[in-house]
C-alpha cells in the first residue's frame, strides 16, 4: 500500500510539472537558454551540463587576436613531438602565418567594442585583427597597454557584440571549477576545464625584472595561444585572464578579474591625476605578515587629512581592495572616480578604523610642487626650455650634482618643452621611487637618476 502511495505521488508531481511547462510554453514564456537542464531529459537537453551551458554562454565573446609582426618567430612553442604532430595534421603553421603572432582575447563591453587581452600578445603593435567564433573578423585599435600588469585593451568599431560579464575574483574558492577558452597552438576557441588550484601567486615577468602578483593558479590546460583568453567560472563569468604557464608541469596562471577591472578603467580613460594627499612607505617586513603601507606624511587640507587619517596610520585597504604595496595603492587610486567617497581601512596603534575619503584631481601647479618636494626639481620656463633653479642641498637633484642653470630636457623617454610637460610626467610617474632625467649644461648632455 505504501509503495502504491509513493508511486501515485511521484506520478502526480510529474504530471503537474508537465502541465506547468506546457502552460508556460502556451503563454510564450521561453526558458533561460543558458540554464543547464535536467540530466534525465532525452537528447541534447539531458547532456547540457552546467559546463556546457557556461561555455555556450561565453564562447561567442572570445576572440582570436592576430598581430602582424614582420620577420618575427612562430608564435607556437615547438619541439620534435609537436612539430611532427602539426606537420601530420595541419602542415607547417609557421609557413601559413609567417609574419603573424597569435593570442586570445575576450570582449568585456559589447556596446563599446572593448576587447581585453595580454600586453605581451600585442608587443609593440598599435593595432590587431580579432576574429569571433562565428567567423566575423574586425580590425582593432589599441586603446592602452600596461606591461607591468600584462594587460591591454583593444577597441573594435562595429555593431553590438557579445560580451562576458566580470565576476568578483575575491570570492573565488580553492577547488572551484573553472574553464579556459582560447586558441592554443592556433586551434581556435578550444575549451579546457580544471579547478582553482591556488590564489595570490607571484610569477616573474618574462624577459625582464618584476613579477606579476596576486595571480590565480589553475590546472585547466593552458598552452601557447591561450594568452589573453578568459578563465571562467561555472556561470560563464570572467574570473581571470590567462597570462602565463609553467611548461611541462600543467600549471597555468590568470590575472584576477578585479585587477583587470581596475587596470582597464585607467587604460580607457587615461591618467586622471587623482590624489588623496598622502605619502606612503611599504612594510619592511611583509614576510612576518606585516602587510599594509605606512602613512609617512599628509598634505594639509588634502582628502586624507580632512577625512581623519593621521601620520603613522597603516593603510590596509582602500575601496575594498588590499593595499600591500605602493603599486597596489597606485592601481586602486587610478581606478577611482573624482569626488566619489571611498572607504579607507587603517590600523592605528593596533586598532582597526575605517574612514571615508573623497579623491580629487591634482592640478598642474600641485604636480610641479610634487616634483620640487620629492626630487628638488624647481624650474622656470624660458624660450621653450625648462631651466633649473638651485635645488635644495639635501634633495635628490642636488645629490647627483644638478645645479642652477641646468636645462631639464627629458624625464625618462619623455621630452620636456614646458612646465605642462613636466607636470604631466610627474602625474604619470609620481609613485615611482626613481626617475632618469636628461639635462644640458653648456654644450654637454648628462643623464642622472634621481632617487626619492
* pLDDT tens digits, one per residue of 416-451: 989 999 988 888 777 777 889 999 999 899 999 999
From 150, 279, 313, 324, the catalytic residue: 150
Right CATH for 57-156 from 2.40.10.10, 3.40.50.410, 3.90.1150.10, 3.30.365.10: 2.40.10.10
| Angle, CA 271 vertex, CA 267 and CA 273 arms, to 5° | 145
From 120, 197, 313, 395, the catalytic residue: 120
End-to-end Cα separation, the chain, in angstroms: 87
What pLDDT is stored for residue 1 in this prediction?
A: 39
57-156 and 169-267: identical CATH topology: yes
What pLDDT is stored for residue 64 in this prediction?
A: 94
Give how far the C-alpha of residue 136 lies from the chain's centroid of Cα atoms, to the nearest Å.
Answer: 26
Of 254, 151, 259, residue with least CA distance to 195? 254
Please tell me the CATH code under which domain 364-451 is placed.
2.30.42.10
* Alpha-carbon torsion (353, 355, 359, 364), positive or negative: negative
What pLDDT is stored for residue 287 in this prediction?
A: 53
From 101, 169, 188, 227, the catalytic residue: 227
More confident residue, 210 or 6: 210
What pLDDT is stored for residue 90 in this prediction?
A: 42
Q: Describe the crossing of helices 364-375 and 419-429 by its angle, rounded to 10 degrees.
A: 70
Is the pTM higher than 0.85?
A: no
At the fourth CATH level, the homologous superfamily of domain 271-361 is: PDZ domain (2.30.42.10)
Q: Who contacts 398 (Cβ-Cβ below 8 Å, separation ≥6)?
A: 376, 391, 392
What pLDDT is stored for residue 364 in this prediction?
A: 86
Of 128, 135, 75, 130, residue with least CA distance to 108? 130
Query: Is the pLDDT score of 138 beyond 90?
Result: yes
318 φ/ψ angles, rounded to the nearest 5 degrees: -140, 125
120 is catalytic: yes
Please tell me the CATH code under which domain 169-267 is placed.
2.40.10.10
Which grid cell sits at 18? 508537465
Of 263, 255, 321, residue with least CA distance to 292? 321
Of 117, 263, 249, 260, residue with least CA distance to 182? 117
189 is catalytic: no
Task: Pick the range with the lowest mean pLDDT from 9-18, 303-312, 385-394.
Answer: 9-18
More confident residue, 116 or 364: 116
Long-range (24+ apart) CB contacts under 8 A made by 413-420 are: 416/386, 417/384, 417/385, 417/386, 418/381, 418/384, 418/386, 419/364, 419/368, 419/379, 419/381, 419/386, 420/364
Domain positions in the chain: 57-156, 169-267, 271-361, 364-451
227 is catalytic: yes
Amino acid at each position: 500500500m505504501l509503495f502504491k502511495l509513493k508511486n501515485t505521488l511521484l506520478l502526480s508531481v510529474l504530471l503537474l510539472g508537465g502541465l506547468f511547462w506546457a502552460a508556460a510554453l502556451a503563454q510564450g514564456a521561453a526558458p533561460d537558454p543558458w540554464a543547464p537542464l535536467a540530466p534525465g531529459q532525452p537528447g541534447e537537453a539531458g547532456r547540457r551540463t552546467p559546463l556546457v551551458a557556461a561555455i555556450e554562454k561565453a564562447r561567442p565573446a572570445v576572440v582570436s587576436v592576430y598581430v602582424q609582426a614582420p620577420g618575427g618567430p612562430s608564435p607556437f612553442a615547438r619541439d620534435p613531438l609537436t612539430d611532427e604532430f602539426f606537420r601530420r595534421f595541419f602542415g607547417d603553421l609557421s609557413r601559413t602565418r609567417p609574419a603573424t603572432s597569435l593570442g586570445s582575447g575576450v570582449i568585456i563591453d559589447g556596446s563599446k567594442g572593448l576587447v581585453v587581452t595580454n600586453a605581451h600578445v600585442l608587443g609593440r603593435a598599435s593595432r590587431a585583427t580579432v576574429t569571433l567564433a562565428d567567423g566575423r573578423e574586425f580590425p582593432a585599435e589599441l586603446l592602452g597597454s600596461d606591461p607591468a600588469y600584462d594587460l591591454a585593451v583593444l577597441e573594435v568599431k562595429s555593431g553590438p557584440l557579445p560580451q562576458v560579464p566580470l565576476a568578483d575574483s575575491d570570492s573565488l574558492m580553492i577547488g572551484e571549477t573553472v574553464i579556459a577558452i582560447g586558441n592554443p597552438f592556433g586551434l581556435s576557441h578550444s575549451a579546457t576545464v580544471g579547478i582553482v588550484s591556488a590564489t595570490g601567486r607571484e610569477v616573474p615577468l618574462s624577459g625582464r625584472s618584476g613579477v606579476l602578483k596576486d595571480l590565480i593558479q589553475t590546472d585547466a590546460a593552458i598552452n601557447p595561444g591561450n594568452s589573453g583568453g578568459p578563465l571562467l567560472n561555472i556561470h560563464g563569468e570572467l574570473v581571470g585572464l590567462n597570462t602565463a604557464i609553467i611548461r611541462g608541469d600543467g600549471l597555468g596562471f590568470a590575472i584576477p578579474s578585479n585587477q583587470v577591472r581596475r587596470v582597464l578603467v585607467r587604460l580607457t580613460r587615461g591618467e586622471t591625476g587623482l590624489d588623496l594627499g598622502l605619502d606612503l612607505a611599504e612594510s619592511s617586513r611583509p614576510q612576518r605578515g606585516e602587510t599594509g603601507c605606512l602613512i609617512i606624511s599628509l598634505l594639509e587640507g588634502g582628502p586624507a587629512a580632512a577625512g581623519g587619517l593621521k601620520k603613522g596610520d597603516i593603510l590596509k585597504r582602500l575601496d575594498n581592495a588590499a593595499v600591500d604595496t605602493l603599486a597596489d595603492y597606485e592601481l586602486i587610486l587610478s581606478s577611482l572616480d573624482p569626488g566619489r567617497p571611498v572607504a579607507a581601512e587603517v590600523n592605528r596603534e593596533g586598532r582597526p578604523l575605517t574612514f571615508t575619503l573623497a579623491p580629487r584631481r591634482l592640478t598642474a601647479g600641485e604636480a610641479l610642487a610634487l616634483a620640487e618636494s620629492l626630487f628638488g626639481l624647481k624650474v622656470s620656463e624660458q624660450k621653450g626650455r625648462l631651466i633649473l633653479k638651485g635645488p635644495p642641498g639635501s634633495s635628490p637633484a642636488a645629490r647627483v650634482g644638478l645645479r642652477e642653470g641646468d636645462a631639464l630636457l627629458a624625464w625618462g623617454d619623455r621630452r620636456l618643452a614646458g612646465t605642462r610637460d613636466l607636470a604631466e610626467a610627474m602625474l604619470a610617474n609620481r609613485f615611482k621611487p626613481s626617475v632618469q632625467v636628461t639635462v644640458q649644461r653648456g654644450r654637454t648632455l648628462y643623464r642622472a637618476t634621481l632617487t626619492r
